[in-house]
Amino acid sequence: MAILTESEKNQLDQRGFLLLERLIPPETTAELRERALSLAEAEQAAGKGHSYLANDSAQRVWNLVAKGEIFEEAIQHPKMLAAMTYLLGADCTLSSFTVNVLYPGAPEAGLHIDYPLSGLPTPRPNSPMVANSVWFLDDWTLENGATRCVPGSHRRLEALPEPGMAYDDALQICGPRGSVLIVNGAIWHGSSENRTNESRVGLLGFFCRSILKPQQAHLELVSDEVISRATPTLKRLLGFDSLPNTND
Ligand SMILES: O=C(O)CCC(=O)C(=O)O
């Protein structure tokens, strides 16, 4: 069973994020990238692309667990799940699993905290409630939109980042493809501008405590075939162990 080192736990506690460098082998990273881009292209061509940011310069592909066995396996990565367990408890569930593509010219996305934290009354909870894993399927560089994070901002329980404001303490987290950035969802974070001629392709494995409503209704979205081959871990992540009771 994968575990976090004391230093890794400390980084999550103090800074609110942790970079796991080169976690994913190069062949798997390349396959995930190819699959992510072909899904994005297919959804665009079918008129079902989830585009956002100015000029539709960024795109999400939702519901990845239903879109290929490679994603079923990826979302169970032991070390990534060890980080989620540390932050959110051993019964944490999947909130959403998506592709995030920044096409050339995508502007920076505003700093934010993750769903549903920004909708909560303040002071927000002091303990981690949701957390994201940002999978670098390309090298994350200063030029292509590497994720910005404000270290320690998960402790600002009353404040939210102001739209359009540049924060001097925001750091761009750069790293080689195959790395996974674990982010407490209460950290002020967001993607940066992609000033290159290449797409920046990533995955977002987003998790929540089991008491929260996930971003996606996985039990409705995932086919019986996926559920029939799901491991106990995947079933738990999809929400089987955290359903409301049906006593009558
Ligand atoms: O893709 C990234 O760099 C970060 C995405 C993000 O901030 C989010 O979806 O909450």
In this predicted model, what pLDDT tens digit does every residue of 91-111 receive, in sequence order?
999 999 999 999 999 999 999
With H, G, I as helix, E, B as strand and everything else as coil, classify residue 108. coil
In this predicted model, what pLDDT tens digit does every residue of 202-218 receive, in sequence order?
999 999 999 999 999 99
Q: Which residue has the higher pLDDT, 164 or 92?
A: 92
pTM above 0.75, yes or no: yes
**Per-residue model confidence (pLDDT) at position 2:** 83
Q: How is residue 18 written in tokens?
A: 């942790």
d(CA 46, CA 36): 15
Domains and CATH numbers, the chain: 6-239 (2.60.120.620)
With H, G, I as helix, E, B as strand and everything else as coil, classify residue 217. coil
CB 134 near ligand 1, within 6 Å: yes
Closest-lying ligand 1 atom to the alpha carbon of residue 192:
3
Q: State in Å: Cα 242 to ligand 1 middle.
A: 26
**Per-residue model confidence (pLDDT) at position 223:** 97
In this predicted model, what pLDDT tens digit does every residue of 25-39 receive, in sequence order?
999 999 999 999 999
With H, G, I as helix, E, B as strand and everything else as coil, classify residue 177. coil
d(CA 31, CA 18): 24
